[in-house]
């Protein structure tokens, strides 16, 4: 019987031992980019608005530059959008993930021992 054995990785970026960036926050940023709304991105993830807002606030506070800009409501309604820094961090995080997966995939020797 042939088995499907693989290595799975998740990676986080910490700032001063505080969890800063990881898969959930990247998913939230992508949702904001897609929907133009923190509320809609949170709903799409099954997350409370408060938790999503806290994550955005943390990203904007701890990062060198803000990742999300919000727009107040009004006649046209409010919204949110990613800054260039927000777009770049998604791209760079994904590139790091691709590199880490390539390293894990290359470790066939370990998988052969299992």
At 76 the pLDDT is 66
89-105: average pLDDT = 93
Distance linking the first and last C-alpha atoms of the chain: 14
Cβ-contact 92, 67 below 8 angstroms: no
Q: How far is CA 54 from the centre of its chain?
A: 14
At 58 the pLDDT is 95
Tens of pLDDT, residues 36-59: 999 999 999 999 999 999 999 999
How do beta strands 18-21 and 68-71 pair?
A: unpaired
At 75 the pLDDT is 62
Domains and CATH numbers, the chain: 21-109 (1.10.10.10)
* Residue 96 token pair: 């790091």
Task: State the Cα torsion 88-89-93-95 to the nearest 10°.
Answer: 10
Tens of pLDDT, residues 5-39: 777 788 999 999 989 999 999 999 999 999 999 99
């Amino acid at each position: 019987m042939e088995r499907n054995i693989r290595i799975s990785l998740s990676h986080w970026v910490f700032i001063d031992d505080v969890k800063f960036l990881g898969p959930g926050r990247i998913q939230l940023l992508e949702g904001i980019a897609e929907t133009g709304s923190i509320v809609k991105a949170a709903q799409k993830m099954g997350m409370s608005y408060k938790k999503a807002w806290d994550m955005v606030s943390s990203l904007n506070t701890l990062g060198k530059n803000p990742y999300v800009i919000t727009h107040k409501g009004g006649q046209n309604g409010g919204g949110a959008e990613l800054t260039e820094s927000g777009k770049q961090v998604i791209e760079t995080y994904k590139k790091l993930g691709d590199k880490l997966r390539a390293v894990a995939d290359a470790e066939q020797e370990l998988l052969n021992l299992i």
